């Protein structure tokens, strides 16, 4: 009886480890995802506004806001390529909250998003050179 419980516990432990290593691998892929997301949403061809700028001005479409939200949520779930996880998650959470505000048409959300999407503040801490 006791022996059976031990075997079961052992199996559960092995399964947990497998899940853990699978998520670590995913986090490594996520770094690349951040770069792709930045290029798509924070940068724009010359003469056009990047999506993040449109969002600050309340001009982003529902699809664009949904894309921003998904991107920040994905970033929040990954380790930053540089710097500490704590401040990184704080920045990502501020971005998520601001985009949700924009989706809810909260009048103060544009200002909150503008503050949260501070390129330099985040890059200097978290973007590898």
Residues that bind ligand HEC (CB under 6 A): 31, 34-35, 38-39, 42-43, 52, 80-81, 91-92, 117-119, 122-123, 126-128
Distance CA 91, CA 117 (A): 8
* Residue with smaller CB distance to ligand HEC, 74 or 103: 74
In angstroms, give the least distance from the CB of 62 to ligand HEC. Answer: 20
In angstroms, give the least distance from the CB of 114 to ligand HEC. Answer: 9
* Residue with smaller CB distance to ligand HEC, 61 or 118: 118
Q: Are 81 and 34 in contact (CB under 8 A)?
A: yes
In angstroms, give the least distance from the CB of 93 to ligand HEC. Answer: 10
Burial 39-59 (b: 16+ CB within 10 A, else e): eebeeeeeeeebbbebbbeee
Cα dihedral: 114, 120, 63, 28 (round 10): -140
* Residue with smaller CB distance to ligand HEC, 12 or 43: 43
Sign of torsion, CA 92 94 95 100?
A: positive
* Residue with smaller CB distance to ligand HEC, 11 or 25: 25
């Amino acid at each position: 009886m006791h022996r059976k419980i031990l075997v079961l516990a052992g199996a559960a432990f092995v399964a947990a480890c497998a899940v853990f290593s699978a998520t670590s691998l995913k986090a490594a892929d996520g770094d690349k995802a951040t770069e792709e997301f930045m290029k798509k949403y924070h940068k724009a061809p010359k003469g056009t506004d990047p999506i993040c700028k449109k969002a600050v001005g309340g001009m982003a479409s529902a699809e664009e806001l949904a894309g921003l939200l998904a991107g920040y949520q994905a970033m929040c779930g990954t380790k930053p390529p540089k710097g500490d996880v704590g401040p990184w998650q704080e920045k990502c959470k501020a971005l998520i909250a601001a985009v949700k505000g924009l989706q809810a048409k909260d009048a103060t959300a544009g200002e909150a998003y503008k503050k949260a999407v501070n390129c330099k503040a985040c890059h200097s801490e978290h973007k590898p050179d």
